[in-house]
Amino acid sequence: MSESPRACKHKERPSKSPRKRRDGKRSQRRGGDHEQLLWEIERRRLPGQHEHLEPCGSASDAAESSPKRFALQGASWSFVHIQDPASQRLTWNKPPVNVLVIRKIRDESLVEPFKELCRFLVEDKQMMVYVERRVADDATLSKDEAFCSIRNQLCTFREGYDDISDCIDLIICLGGDGTLLYASSLFQGSVPPVMAFHLGSLGFLTPFKFESYKTEVAKVFEGNAAITLRSRLKVKVVKDMLQRTGEPPYSGGPQQQPEHNGLLPHGHTNTDAGKVTLQLQVLNEVVVDRGPSSYLSNVDLYLDGRLITSVQGDGLIVSTPTGSTAYAAAAGASMIHPNVPAIMVTPICPHSLSFRPIVVPAGVELMITLSPDARNTAWVSFDGRKRQEIQHGDCIKITTSCYPVPSICCHDLVYDWFESLAQCLHWNVRKRQARLADASDSSDTEN
């Protein structure tokens, strides 16, 4: 890709990855091995928990599993205790060095906040700042000679070309909820802590105000910040799965049909056939819809290999608790706190009066296929991206990912969520009922 001349030439070497462009003085950071995490989620012991209560995983993989489980065992019994999400805190094993700044593009109002933040991180905090190449090459930044010295110190990357998954210690988002979704898409494995500033339109997932960014960023660098582990969905698109087996998705053969309750007690899918053409980590939702066709979408929904139901309507939404306040909420689903371990299944305009949204446990595997008698194909999108067509014989497998997004809270995980419900969605907002001036005016008062 050719570059046009600009006032101050940006420092970049296209032939090298972002990791090789770092200054040697600042290159002392965590290694590429995920066992040497620079940050971890610390969970405090709850009242009533004793010394024989031991975590199932080490501190280094605490951020890679959600929810965190603690096993309590006796001589002949055992059960699993779910740790209180309110005790999740961010601590730094080493001071953070590399910060990824994500800015909402095509928004000129964010240019000045972006420059302020980069200057603060580079000059005041001595951080190595990573930005997208298209952000660094913005014409407004190129013309600003005062910002030239800072711009030359930025490390750039291109989505899909440069791997920065093991380079970043902290992510700072400037914009709306889309910036957080984009940050999630950049890390298909373990995700660094994310600090999101509300500079967009809605801002449900961005609790911080930019007016106090210096104070807030300094607090995060000091550690002990509250964390919300936002679960993601691991999604696989498998092509030609049914055509290769020569059977319907239930293994009982072409003649076996579902029982009246929609379950196949002994029929399970063949998971070894087909070719995985796409695998993604999704933060909000997977949407299956009828696309440009005027026919009803007709897809089959399986849970752990058992046929649950057929969906006839405009489509189906499979969402995380974080996504429950997005498309799923518009389709009539309940809003679930992001720390609840669950997967939501919400129909889009179902042609049935009794098809209500459901919530299933986070550990199950869902599978969506076209029904054999479907009149048209279906289309699927993942957090609104990578939209593609699903044909007969294809399937979509969905389960909870073991790589959540650690979202830094402004106050705490409960207050921030209800504050977003009230400020962004105006949850339960109505004009207050006036009190009675005289109790005798009430129709329920006895004479």
Where exactly are the structural domains of the chain? 89-223, 235-241+273-402
pTM: 0.77
Q: What pLDDT, on the 0 to 100 scale, is given for residue 19?
A: 44
Burial 243-264 (b: 16+ CB within 10 A, else e): eebebbbbbeeeeeebeeeeeb
pLDDT tens for 138-188 read: 888 888 888 999 999 999 999 888 889 889 999 999 999 999 999 999 999
pLDDT tens for 53-73 read: 333 344 444 444 444 444 455
Beta partners for 307? 302
pLDDT band at 122 (very low <50, low <70, confident <90, very high): very high
CATH architecture of 89-223: 3-Layer(aba) Sandwich (3.40)
pLDDT tens for 332-377 read: 999 999 999 999 999 999 999 999 999 999 999 999 999 999 999 9
Annotation says 177 is catalytic: yes
One of 137, 138, 177, 394 is an active-site residue; which one? 177
The answer to whether 164 and 130 have CB atoms below 8 angstroms apart is yes
Count of alpha carbons within 13 angstroms of residue 442, beta-carbon side: 9
| CATH label, 235-241+273-402, candidates 3.40.640.10, 2.40.40.20, 2.102.10.10, 2.60.200.30 | 2.60.200.30
pLDDT tens for 396-444 read: 999 999 999 999 999 998 999 999 999 999 999 888 889 888 766 556 5
Residue type, 433: Q
Low-confidence winner among 264-278, 280-294, 323-337 (lowest mean pLDDT) = 264-278
Q: Nearest 5 degrees, angle CA 210-CA 138-CA 20?
A: 90
Question: What is the distance in angstroms between the CA of the first residue and the CA of the last residue of the chain?
Answer: 87
pLDDT band at 11 (very low <50, low <70, confident <90, very high): very low
The answer to whether 82 and 90 have CB atoms below 8 angstroms apart is no
Tokens describing residue 385: 């991206």
Instruction: Name which of 310, 285, 286 is nearest 298 in CA terms.
Output: 310
DSSP string, 54-71: EESS-GGGGGGSSS-EEE
